[in-house]
A = this chain, B = another copy of it.
Amino acid sequence: MLIDPIYPKSFASDNHAGVHPDVLDAMTAANHGDAPAYGSDRWTTAFECQIKEAFGSEAEGFAVLNGTGANIVGLSLMLGRYDAVICPESAHIATHETGASERLLGVKLITVPTEDGKLRPHHITSRLGALGTTYEPQPRVVSVSQVTELGTCYSPGELAALAQTAHDSGMRLHLDGARLANAAAYLDCDLRTLTTDAGVDVFSFGGTKNGALAAEAVVVLDPSLAHAVPFLRQQSLQLASKMRFVSAQLSALLTDELWRRNAAHANAMTARLVAGLEGLPGVSLVFPAQGNAAFVVLPKNATAALQSRYLFHYWDEDAGLVRWMTAFDTTPEQVDDFLDDIRKAVGA
């Protein structure tokens, strides 16, 4: 029934890419005979060991099904009935999850305007007046995204400062790491540097946007929190019965740092794209492109012309701002063709 794919090249999202061959191979290899369900299988054991190798012996990894699920499971470990989360106004949990935090967790998100999607310590300290005030939800968690939703990265030092600020006031630091791999590739550092070593308490490690099919990990670095995950993962609809196939995906990404190779390539393609935009009339980069996304303002007629041949969306239509993303499988030729078309569209 299905015909050949006819979708144009997409620069809309790293979710528009397919699955890396190594990931698909790992899934296929796991399809052999019976295996216990719900994680009592050795693909899952292997994944759990790889998490400890990557993040330290106290790290515990739990495979889940999607990014919003990873955020909700992770946050649910740290939040009680009258608690609040401090996060940037641009946070995925605040803007793109259909209010899952409010409805499934019952928490208030204290959203902070930022210039570039990055929270700073003073953003936290200036919101702590609520602590101890019975008519306000209590800030218990600071949540940041790495890479941010605006394509910027926190340095290890910036993350450590956020962790310190949170901990100093009895809060925990949560990191939405849907694109954590891209950050580690951009910063040329270990995953551990951005998480365990920085003082993060709970984070997600994204697979889907980086070459997996549908696999994310919730990683718990505070050992007092891990016992609750199996209950909350199942209740939160994030437990796969045939878990081996989810674990195999994550395991493939963690093997020989496939995550880094995929992310580094995606980042390089965005860098190539951004470099090619230099000096084009009416085209300007809005945020530093520190991952695999470029936020670009360009003339609306140019956008219209390009959208007839490529998939991508407005981030802010009034401002003429679009988001362009590259993925593990974007080729230099595709970027160069796109740049050619951009140049034509803006009359350069």
Residues of B within 8 A of A10 (CB): 34-36
A320-337 contact mask (Cβ, 8 Å, vs B): 1 or 0: 000000000000000000
Minimum CB distance partner of A106 in chain B: B103
- B82/A232 in contact, CB under 8 A: yes
Residues of B within 8 A of A231 (CB): 81-82, 98, 134, 138
A202-236 contact mask (Cβ, 8 Å, vs B): 1 or 0: 00000011000110000000000000101110111
- A98/B37 in contact, CB under 8 A: no
Interface assignment of A296: CB less than 8 Å from any CB of chain B? no
- B242/A208 in contact, CB under 8 A: yes
User: Residue A66 contacts which of B13, B16, B81, B237 (CB distance < 8 angstroms)?
Assistant: B237
Interface assignment of A246: CB less than 8 Å from any CB of chain B? yes
- A213/B34 in contact, CB under 8 A: no
Shortest distance from the beta carbon of A142 to any chain B beta carbon, whole Å:
17
- Selecting from A24-32, A153-161, A261-269, the interface stretch reads A24-32
- B65/A36 in contact, CB under 8 A: no
> How many copies of the shown chain assemble into the complex?
4
- B36/A16 in contact, CB under 8 A: yes
- Selecting from A1-9, A165-173, A181-189, A272-280, the interface stretch reads A1-9
A1-B46, A18-B32, A242-B18 given; A104·B107 CB < 8 A: no
Bound together, the chains give a CA A237 to CA B74 distance in angstroms of 13
Interface assignment of A95: CB less than 8 Å from any CB of chain B? yes
Interface assignment of A69: CB less than 8 Å from any CB of chain B? yes
Residues of B within 8 A of A122 (CB): none
- B100/A2 in contact, CB under 8 A: no
Shortest distance from the beta carbon of A21 to any chain B beta carbon, whole Å:
8
Residues of B within 8 A of A15 (CB): 37-38, 241-242
Bound together, the chains give a CA A343 to CA B3 distance in angstroms of 52
8 smallest A-B Cβ distances: which pairs?
A103-B106, A99-B137, A98-B235, A15-B37, A10-B34, A69-B237, A15-B241, A82-B231
Knowing that A2-B46, A99-B136 are A-B contacts, what are 13 other residue pairs whose CB atoms are under 8 Å apart, sorted by A's residue number? A2-B43, A13-B37, A15-B37, A16-B36, A27-B213, A81-B235, A82-B231, A96-B135, A96-B136, A98-B134, A100-B234, A134-B230, A236-B237
